[in-house]
Structure 1
């Protein structure tokens, strides 16, 4: 029973990693860094706060709910991931080029509204329903 559940979860994880790998230019570090930045930014939402309308920063770059998002920087993301700062800096530059991260002049990083729309839609349309279905199958297998 546990083996069947482990195989079910492993199949899901490998399928999901392959999709992510392809969606992020076959660079597995990009989704890790984007995810860390997003989780850091959106941490306040755990307390029931909602993201407000987008605002522009001092550079004129649109930030998604900058008043509600917690800023982070390359140093804090390097510390959170255990990756070298120079690697993080290069990958953040690429995420910025892709329009998924906005950087303020002071170095604060924010997930862009484009990234939230793109990956939020993917999560709710594909990954979350698939994960919930797998969880239901795992529960059924555990009862057997």
Structure 2
């Protein structure tokens, strides 16, 4: 439709209703996920956020051209510290430091003597399994439902 021509009112209402339904579907999905993470991390919602940031910092971008034995791009883990995580999240450094100490206690993060933080292999295994068994199928189902609502 031309930018200068406005859609008929009935068409506008239908589109608004469709977008509202998709927004509601996505909000339900997000709340369901937040509840799961809240329970998974002993009811501390900050822990999965910080673990995710640490993992994203560690993984960074795959090395150009380097391919592992599984055929996927190789990743060299890059260190981060409480300061870089505080900067990435906008949280106070002291809060990040306390929460990282808890992640270390739980075994999800390892801290080197120089303060470098790495997501642990245990965390990668545990949460990778959760993502593939629970989160990913739910996300795919939600995306399919959103597409149907949009009439795609």
TM category (shorter chain) comes to: 0.7 to 0.9
Q: Which protein, 1 or 2, shows the higher relative CO under an 8 Å CA cutoff with sep ≥ 6? A: 1
What is the aligned residue count? 130
Q: TM-score, normalised by structure 2?
A: 0.80
Describe the SS at the equivalent of 2:62: helix
RMSD of the TM alignment (CA)?
2.0
- Any conservation in 1 of the 2:104–2:111 contact (CA below 8 Å)? yes
Describe the SS at the equivalent of 1:71: coil
Describe the SS at the equivalent of 1:75: helix
- What is the match of residue 14 of structure 1? 31
- Any conservation in 2 of the 1:74–1:88 contact (CA below 8 Å)? yes
For residues 28-49 of structure 1, the C-alpha deviation after alignment (integer angstroms, 9 at most, x for no partner) is: 1101100000011011338575
**Distance (Å, rounded) in 2 between the aligned partners of 1:127 and 1:36:** 18
Deviating 4+ runs (over 2 angstroms): 44-52
Tell me which structure has the larger Cα radius of gyration: 2
Describe the SS at the equivalent of 1:102: strand
Distance 1:48 1:21, change over 3 A: farther
- Any conservation in 2 of the 1:34–1:95 contact (CA below 8 Å)? yes
- What is the match of residue 95 of structure 1? 103
- Any conservation in 1 of the 2:63–2:76 contact (CA below 8 Å)? no
**Distance (Å, rounded) in 2 between the aligned partners of 1:108 and 1:44:** 18
Structure 1: which 5+ runs fail to align? 53-66
Shift of residue 68 of structure 1?
A: 1.5
Describe the SS at the equivalent of 2:60: helix
Shift of residue 72 of structure 1?
A: 0.2
Q: TM-score, normalised by structure 1?
A: 0.84
1:138 and 2:142 matched: no
**Distance (Å, rounded) in 1 between the aligned partners of 2:35 and 2:97:** 24
Describe the SS at the equivalent of 2:36: helix
Work out which of the residue numbers 84, 105, 128 in structure 1 matches 2:136: 128
Describe the SS at the equivalent of 1:37: helix
**Distance (Å, rounded) in 1 between the aligned partners of 2:134 and 2:81:** 30
